[in-house]
Amino acid sequence: MPAMNFEKSMDRLEEIVKKLENTDVPLDDAIKLYEEGQELLTNLRQKLNKAETKIKKLTKTEQGFQLKELENMEEK
């Protein structure tokens, strides 16, 4: 499957869910759609995790460790 951006992946996942909700989908097609949906879901989770990592940093404070957003780090 070619790489899709986040929005297109979400659109395709929504399309798959709608098709699977239709009870007229043959079993073999439903299995293929389910597998594609699982792959999309895994890729979307990875993209979200990478984005979260980019915008947060674990910083040591007197009270322990604290997550800080990158925007706030520029002020220090």
Mean pLDDT for back-to-back runs of 10 residues, the chain (76 residues): 82 95 90 96 93 73 72 48
pLDDT of residue 70: 63
Name the pTM for this structure: 0.67
pLDDT of residue 60: 67
Q: Is residue 1 part of a domain?
A: no
CA distance 54 to 44: 15
Q: What share of the chain is helix, strand, coil (3-state, %, to 5)?
A: 65, 15, 20
Q: How many domains does the chain have?
A: 1
Contact by Cβ (8 Å): 56, 68: yes
pLDDT of residue 73: 46
Q: Is residue 50 part of a domain?
A: yes
pLDDT of residue 32: 97
Q: Is residue 10 part of a domain?
A: yes
Task: Determine the structural domain holding residue 67 and report its residue range.
Answer: 6-73
